[in-house]
Copies of this chain bind each other. A is one copy, B any other.
């Protein structure tokens, strides 16, 4: 149980730290077969996914994780992670809540994001 929880925690910390400092660097975490569903938009491939993330209309962003749950998705070391958290954008004082899912696939000990689903939580 410890392994996939540790992997999920390490991955999400690295992912959001990279996102919040230089999101162009996220391309190394995706591959050609990777998919992103972002607020209903669907993209595939590291290049298109990172272009989408780079095009988001804010300069500064800070992710804060509220909850993190992880489960193995089979015997090959792949893991599904559900995050709920808060986003702080630019000079805004009010955080926006979001939900995000990562499916991390183990490729010979190197993990990449096969599935990435993101939604802001309105309400």
Name A's B-contacting residues (CB within 8 A). 1, 35, 37, 40, 42, 66-67, 69-74, 80, 82, 84, 86, 97, 99, 101, 103, 114-115, 117, 119, 121-123
Contacts and interface: CB of A to CB of B under 8 A. Distances in A.
Contact of A99 (B40, B70, B121): B121
A69 B118 CA distance: 9
Contacts of A101: 80, 82, 101
A73 B114 contact: yes
Report whether over half of chain A's contact residues are helix, strand or loop; otherwise say mixed.
Answer: strand
Contacts of A114: 73-74
B71 A84 contact: no
25 contacts: A1-B42, A37-B70, A37-B71, A37-B82, A67-B119, A69-B117, A69-B119, A71-B115, A71-B117, A80-B80, A80-B101, A80-B103, A80-B117, A82-B82, A82-B101, A84-B99, A84-B119, A84-B121, A86-B123, A97-B121, A97-B123, A99-B99, A99-B121, A103-B103, A121-B123
A117 to B, nearest CB: 4
